[in-house]
Amino acid sequence: MEVDCKKGQRAVLNPGEENELEAFGYRSHTVRSALCFIASVLTCGVLLLVFYWRPQWRVWATCVPCPLQEADTVLLRTMLRCIQVQKIRYVWDNLEKQFQKVGLLEDSNSCYDIHHTYGLGLTSEEQEVRRLVCGPNAIEVEIQPIWKLLVKQVLNPFYVFQAFTLILWLSQGYLEYSVAIIILSVISIVLSVYDLRQQSVNLHNLVEEHNKVRVTINIKDKELEEEESKMIIVLGESIPVTKTPLPQSENTMPWKSHSLEDYRRHVLFCGTEVIQVKPSGQGPVRAVVLQIGYNTAKGDLVRSILYPQPLNFKLYSDAFKFIVFLACLGILGFFYALGVYMYHGVPARDTMTMALLLLTVTVPPVLPAALTAGIVYAQKRLQRKGIFCMSPQRINMCGQINLVCFDKTGTLTEDGLDLWGTVPTADNCFQEVHSFASGKALPWGPLCAAMASCHSLILLDGTVQGDPLDLKMFEGTAWKMEDCSVQYCVVGTSDSNVILKPGPRASESPVEAITVLRQFPFSSGLQRMSVVAQLAGGDRFHVYMKGAPETVARFCRLETVPKNFSQELRTYTMQGFRVIALAHKALKMGALSEVLSLAREILIYIQLAHLCDNLQTAITVAKNSGMVPQGSRVILVEAKEPEEFAPASVTWQLVENQANGGVRVEGRAALVSSFGVFKYLTMYGIIQFIGTSLLYWQLQLFGNYQYLMQDVAITLMVCLTMSSTQAYPKLAPYRPAGQLLSPPLLLSVILNSCFTCIVQICAFLFVKQQPWYFEVYRCSECFLANQMDFSMNVSLGRNWTGNATLTPGSILSFESTTLWPITTINCITVAFIFSKGKPFRKPIYTNYIFSFLLLSALSLTIFILFSDFQDIYRGMEFIPTITSWRVLILVAALIQFCVAFFVEDAILQNRELWLLIKKEFGFYSKSQYRNWQKKLAEDSTWPPTNRTDYSDDGKNGVYVNLGYESPQQIPKEKGELRGQTTEEPFFTRL
């Protein structure tokens, strides 16, 4: 114990150990105790309750510090400094001066350490320390309360701004649209909270599953005892897998390095159900805990769900910039309105209200609902295809994917396997094919023995279980599996060995049974597995190997491998067969101990029978599934890292010359839909902002029902259905723009804003030049005869003697009557223009609801424009005008639509034009892989086949794709093949 000699109040217990503690001395103080007693009485015992919750507070309140030798109260404080980040605990290491992750066994431990240090269990003191440091062995997912989820949703900055906007609109009597937005927002918030709550509950129920295990610990009397403990699990291995014990090696090499990439065969993953244990005769089967709680692989899975990686996607940052731009535009409008209304001497309250109204016009409150609707539509379409997304916000990101890696087995191919046949070898030649479709049993021989014994199958409750490939091959032999019996067991072996016997449908065999004595499990790195077996009645041992044909052939004696081995292998792989090779050797060993001590590396095989995946099989499957475009050259690239005496090398080999393509992707359609909705809502805000600003110039604005027609009947309905257009069934050879701030999209908004501004300003000024125009019109009766001549209008205007002073916030005017149909038709036309179909979405007419709403809105607007009904004019707060002026309004809107549509479709969406512009100005993609692709297309020596390149030095280079965050489109490199122009993608394997 170390004591602080300066004051004597502090001491350190167990210095330098894991359970290090600090001790502080305190002495009771009468006055403090009395004051605390009085305070407890005055607070009706609340202070005592607080002291119960926080005992250290009671010590600080009733005692004074003193040396430890005089203390009557000692306050202990742990020296453990820890933090918890995303469910993982980190403890401060005073020696290393850094935080270290706890809750897992260090990978630096050797096999010897694990066997002898941790295999006997922990003492009670060690248990307490680890329980304190590492925490419980549990994956606990908290079910967040509804009120907390609700608060998080409501406090979203956009909803706060939306609430401010709605309060302002409601104060001005704009009830209908405000109520519609409130209902939509409430539904959106409720659905979001419900979805988050359900995800939390489902994840909690999925994770909270208990399993009983036996734990070996050391108790006080130093005897071993087995107790039961509960462990939280998620799931285990997908199929029954044989696990082997960790080797009892005495070297100091870390256990993972000792086992190389096959260390997983020694590991029971969290959630694994042990269905069978076979002792080896060397003691009971024990397991050492490597990781607990969220440190396990399943814990990492749960953490990835709870804390997904942030979306590093330009769409969301660009969207934020657009909203900031619209907000800045609204602020400019705010000061503009202040200046205009203050100039006319309007009261400060009315001035501030009207200025805030103009501020709220620019940022559409329906924006979050519209963007969410597009993602929901895409998610539903994916679900209909059997694709489920746990993070729907990432669907848009899929539109920018430029590289897809497919796992062939079970992904591009169907589940399940069928055994087609075997091709045995003899005398350095392939023999006649044995087809299983014929119904004939596989004849006895080394091939039959290898198929029956070389596998990792197990017998559980009388049923053979294991890998589907092993199971299918074993079933093809018509043999059966039994547990070891005295009759066939080899003396000196354990009863865990597997016995294989011919079944009723098997061919005649001179061997009654095969006993598997030693198994070398399949290694993905080695691409092979082996077993050592003994035939019943025989005195020799046999070894059988199974694996990839190229790998197995390398282990066989050259004189036993057929000369046409490669050609025969290619024949089957070109047809898409999955090819497995088998080999056999009779061992010259008489002692069982020699067999049990065999190492995998010393086995050599002498026969080959041609039955893991081959590269040519993968190419054939890719071709048949339509993954690879026709005419593509598939290049196999095998890269080797630099070693001590050898530089890094890259070997190039031409694998396949022809393939065909076709893949469907929903992400691109969702991305294009999001861009279209965002552009439309931006233009919708700008259109209303320009029209409202022009009316503010003379202290006027649009009427409530005029706004309601635009906001609800058009914008709200259009935004909720605009994104429901389905994806185009064919995948385009290029990606859509990945940024809202890309030149085509940015110019689209800017040019359409200019067109809108020009048309509205011209209409605003031109209506003032009409002979029938006057500033304020107070007549309440509608023109009964709308086709009146100019003299009547002129005389009516000249004879009017009312007060010409404008009333703040007035609605009836020729300006609002003229601007409203122009802005309304403009909102409809930009929705049509921004709903582009091919190449990423189906044509607009396939979206029936959206097309119907557009046509209905356009028809209703034209009907209101040309109608002569007094009720319509009174309700919409219009002033009747002559028919020729209404025709001019419609013509102006039509001209604007034609110009905007031509610019959008023929210029801004013309990919060939943009590629030409980029080429003329020397702009190319920042993606390094695209630059390489361009150079390779211009290189006449590409592809370099049957060549190995070596680096000048052994340094490793690191490539960072700078273009990933801001992908741009460059001209696709084209090649002429048989008179057809096709893209030339290169498929590589590193």
- Active site positions, annotated: 407
Write out the two tokens for 283.
């003691």
Q: What single letter denotes the amino acid at residue 818?
A: T
Amino acid making up residue 830: V
SS3 603: coil
* Contact criterion met (CB below 8 Å) for 945 and 654: yes
In the numeric block, which tokens belong to residue 48?
A: 């005592």
At which residue do the structure tokens 């248990």 appear?
A: 127
Distance CA 913, CA 898 (A): 20
Residue 498 has phi, psi (to 5 degrees) of -95, 140
Q: Tally DSSP H helices, then E strands, for the chain.
A: 30, 28
* 85 strand-pairing partners: 88
**Strand locations in 433-497 (E):** 434-435, 458-460, 463-465, 479-483
Q: Is 438 helix (H, G, I), strand (E, B) or coil?
A: helix
- Residue of 467, 477, 544 lying closest to 237 (CA atoms): 467
Torsion of CA 800, 802, 808, 810, to 10 degrees: -40
Q: Kindly provide the b/e burial profile for residues 885-917, where b requires at least 16 CB atoms within 10 angstroms of the residue's own CB.
A: bbebbbebbeebbeebeebbeeebbeeeebbee
Q: What are the residues whose beta carbons fall under 8 Å from the beta carbon of 762, sequence distance 6 or more?
A: 892
E strand or H helix that includes residue 502: strand 498-502
Token reading at 166: 């709605």
**Smallest Cα–Cα separation from 450: which of 556, 308, 310, 294?**
556
Q: Which residues, in sequence order, are CB contacts of 690 under 8 Å at separation 6+?
A: 753, 756, 757, 760, 823
- Distance in angstroms (rounded) separating the CA atoms of residues 197 and 763: 53
Quick one: tokens of 880? Answer: 């009747």
- Contact between residue 735 and residue 969 where contact means Cβ atoms under 8 Å apart: yes
Q: Which of 700, 915, 920, 902 is nearest to 820 (CA)?
A: 700
- Check if the beta carbon of residue 379 is closer than 8 Å to that of residue 187: no
d(CA 400, CA 968): 10
Own/partner contacts of 401-408, CB < 8 Å, gap of 24 or more, are 401/665, 401/667, 401/735, 402/735, 402/927, 402/967, 404/663, 406/622, 406/627, 408/613, 408/617, 408/618, 408/621, 408/622
**Can you tell me the distance from the alpha carbon of 727 to that of 378, in angstroms, rounded to the nearest whole number?**
9
The rounded radius of gyration (Å) of the Cα atoms in the chain is 40
- Residue 159 burial (10 A CB sphere; 0-12, 13-18, 19+): middle
Q: Are 361 and 370 in contact (CB under 8 A)?
A: no
User: Judging by beta carbons within 10 Å of its beta carbon (0-12, 13-18, 19+), is residue 936 exposed, middle or buried?
Assistant: middle
Task: Determine the 3-state secondary structure of 944 from DSSP.
Answer: coil
Picking from 153, 55, 138, the residue whose alpha carbon sits closest to that of residue 89 is 138
The closest of 260, 263, 613 to 469, measured between CA atoms, is 613
Q: Is 583 helix (H, G, I), strand (E, B) or coil?
A: strand
